[in-house]
Amino acid sequence: MESNLIVKLADGSERSCGKGIAIATLADDISPGLRKSAVAARVDGRLVDLGHALLGDCALEFVPLDSEAGLAVYRRSAARLAAQAVKRVLGADRVRLGECRETEDGFSVDVQADEPLTPAVLRAVEKEMDAIARANLPVVRRLLGRDEAIAWFGRRGEPFLLERLRELPAGAEVAVYEQGEFADMCDGPLLPSTGRIKAFKLFGVSGAYWRGDADGAVLQRVHGAAFLKKSQLDRHLALLEEAKKRDHRKLGRELELFMFSEEAPGMPFYLPKGMAVREALERFSRSFWRKRGYEEVRTPLMMNRRLWEQSGHWDHYKDNIYFAKADDAEYALKPMNCPGHILLYNNRRRSYRELPIRYAEFGQVHRHEYSGALNGMMRVRAFCQDDAHLFVRPDQLEREIAGILALIDEMYAAFGFAYRIELSTKPESAMGSAELWERAERALEQSLRRRGAEYRLNPGDGAFYGPKIDFHIRDAIGRSWQCATVQLDFQMPEKFDLSYVGEDGGKHRPVLVHRAVFGSVDRFVGILTEHYAGAFPLWLAPVQAAVIPVSEADAESALALREALEEAGLRAEADLRQEKLGYKVREAQLAKVPYTLVLGEAERAGGTVSVRRRGESAAAAMTPAELIARLRAEEAARA
């Protein structure tokens, strides 16, 4: 080999190498420790295997196992380990491979098998995974031509892989990874051997349509967790157990917050207590809207099809829209609120002096989801968005985005939520010119930088009409939920010919900003139910105080106290059942009521009430006036 390559390393140093040298060999030359810790590399920013040959001058960065990219390689490899084990346990000719993919905390594997993957089968698969890992099989990457790969996987009886291969253009090359007798198509990179996979756990099987197509084959999806160390896996499994206890579907039933019915799949029903939580959230939002100059509006649930064609939703979203016909016209249940707000703006001529206009709405929307994707309040077909649309002059844009970012930060602080930010850029399905997209992306990026906010770039994940900033909140047990979004839109103003009269008397185009904080109010209720494990803070609690008389003689005093609390704007219930005091106190505790108030002969005589706060064993004596003052102060502080 000629020594004619210059490789620039991440620390700024340079190495002279022979053309065609494998990255793994170079790593060994630099340091045996580096070869051991690295699982992949970036060549001029492109992620590749350690077996990749260097053919020209390049910048090279090694990817360690304990990095974010390294963990993705690890989990991608764990998925293939699971797929190989399934084939071994059931027989290779009885299992057709679908897709293997890494997930946020592990992996999933889709297979079509001749028998169900029962818990007993999963236990056998997990045992076989351990055996394959201990065997430390080398993982070898091969490049095959499209036709060669079709013939090769055809002989192996893999119809789903063949379907993917036949969609490739003639002459395309396909990366195939082999470990022992197992093979799969994969862009990679993967770990160099199966022995690097140390800690994993299979925890369930679900149904899945091939490629998400309800008319396609039904596969079995194996779910698994994979971590670098057993201690990390154990912590994750403990978190999953805690998540089961906090499951909003379970707590929603037990606390009588919300329910679902087969008469309206994916559409939540709110019981009185759940409605109290939702109303508290809406009051909370409205208080911020008023302070920041938003005007609340209401738009129809159903609008003519031509509106959705004009907005672009018809082309990009029609499979998710519900339709109805009336008076020989086709209507759509709105999947989004923005076109309705645009009609409000276009209701009359606008002056530059009126802008910014900030419309806000708790807007009910409907979006069709496959029944298999529905998940309690987290994935529904009908939900309410805390939507706002701001119509602004270009010179106001940065200030308005800064105001939205501050609003989101302030509102999330009330729940104790930390968050991370993602900036999502132009997707393949985007509409509009590249110039408008560049302007929009630049405006969002500058707003984040001026605020000093840390963010991650998420290329290609913007909305079809513009780039967006997404906020991912972290709940009490460390799970991430995408909620708030800020989307910049230069497209809709063009499509609907929005304008305002400028200071020069001419027509000018406003910029449209889409904004939500909760995202889906219903989903946010579900998230909060799990975040607080049903023990809502006082300001959100459906019942803030349970009044419990010691005996029947105290019932009248209990009713009077409940009435006084309600007159003060607090939510209270009186338990007048002929049950033992301890039983009723225990019931209030199980219902996670923030304050339990006991009234007996001693309290009546002293003009006080015995007050016990949730989670505390000691009770304090207070007058009704002192109690009300305390509860109102705590509610106002949102403590």
Q: Could you confirm whether domain 69-244 is CATH 3.30.980.10?
A: yes
Residue-wise pLDDT tens digits, 117-149: 999 999 999 999 999 999 999 999 999 999 999
Q: Could you say which of 49, 184, 386, 387 is catalytic?
A: 387
Q: How far apart are CA 99 and CA 108, in angstroms?
A: 8
What pLDDT score does 549 carry? 95
Tokens of 369: 């989801």
The SS3 of residue 464 is coil
Is 545-637 the same fold as 289-531? no
Q: Give the whole-number percent of the chain exceeding pLDDT 70.
A: 99
Is 232 catalytic? The answer is no
Is 186 catalytic? The answer is no
Report the candidate in 354, 444, 336 with the shortest Cα–Cα distance to residue 391.
354
Q: Could you say which of 201, 223, 389, 592 is catalytic?
A: 389
pTM, entire model? 0.82
Check pLDDT > 90 for residue 313. Answer: no
Strand (E) or helix (H) holding 423: strand 418-424
Q: Could you say which of 179, 385, 491, 544 is catalytic?
A: 385
Q: Could you say which of 313, 341, 468, 571 is catalytic?
A: 468
Report the DSSP beta bridge partners of residue 383.
Answer: 365
- Measured from the Cβ of residue 445, the count of other Cβ atoms closer than 10 Å reads 16
Residues in Cβ contact with 234 at an 8 Å cutoff, skipping those fewer than 6 apart: none
Tokens of 476: 């009490």
Q: How far apart are CA 215 and CA 218, in angstroms?
A: 9
Domain ranges of the chain: 5-64, 69-244, 289-531, 545-637
Q: How confident is the model at residue 2 (pLDDT cuts 50, 70, 90)?
A: low
Task: State the residue for tokens 């016990």.
Answer: 612
For residues 56-82, average pLDDT: 94
Q: Could you say which of 338, 381, 491, 584 is catalytic?
A: 338
Check pLDDT > 80 for residue 176. Answer: yes
Is 387 catalytic? The answer is yes
Strand (E) or helix (H) holding 581: helix 581-590
For residues 32-42, average pLDDT: 89
Residue-wise pLDDT tens digits, 480-517: 888 999 988 888 898 899 999 999 999 999 999 999 99
Is 468 catalytic? The answer is yes
Tokens of 202: 């299979």
For 289-531, CATH number? 3.30.930.10
How would you label 152-176 residue by residue, b for 16+ Cβ within 10 Å and e otherwise?
Answer: bbeeeebebbbebbeebeeeeebbb
What pLDDT score does 463 carry? 74
Mean pLDDT, all residues of the chain = 91
For residues 25-54, average pLDDT: 90
Tokens of 100: 């293997």
- Please tell me the CATH superfamily of domain 545-637, with its number: Anticodon-binding domain (3.40.50.800)
Is 338 catalytic? The answer is yes
Strand (E) or helix (H) holding 203: strand 199-209
Amino acid at 409: D
The SS3 of residue 48 is strand
Q: How confident is the model at residue 3 (pLDDT cuts 50, 70, 90)?
A: low
Which DSSP string corresponds to 114-182?
A: SS---HHHHHHHHHHHHHHHHHT-BEEEEEEEHHHHHHHHHHTT-HHHHHHHHTSPTT-EEEEEEETTE
The SS3 of residue 403 is helix
Is residue 213 exposed (0-12), middle (13-18) or buried (19+ Cβ within 10 Å)? exposed
Q: How confident is the model at residue 639 (pLDDT cuts 50, 70, 90)?
A: low
Residue-wise pLDDT tens digits, 210-243: 887 778 899 999 999 999 999 999 999 998 888 8
Residue-wise pLDDT tens digits, 380-420: 899 999 999 999 998 898 889 999 999 999 999 999 888 99
Check pLDDT > 80 for residue 372. Answer: no
E-strand ranges in 79-123 read: 95-102, 106-113
Q: Please, are residues 40 and 47 in contact by the beta-carbon 8 Å criterion?
A: yes
Q: Could you say which of 514, 515, 531, 612 is catalytic?
A: 514
Q: How confident is the model at residue 1 (pLDDT cuts 50, 70, 90)?
A: very low
End-to-end CA distance of the chain: 70
Is 514 catalytic? The answer is yes
Tell me, what DSSP letter sits at residue 98? E
CA 437 to chain CA mean position, Å: 25
Could you tell me the fold of the domain covering 5-64? Answer: Ubiquitin-like (UB roll) (3.10.20)
Q: Could you say which of 87, 350, 367, 592 is catalytic?
A: 367
Is 385 catalytic? The answer is yes
Residue-wise pLDDT tens digits, 576-609: 998 999 999 999 999 999 999 999 989 888 999 9
What pLDDT score does 163 carry? 94
- Measured from the Cβ of residue 627, the count of other Cβ atoms closer than 10 Å reads 23
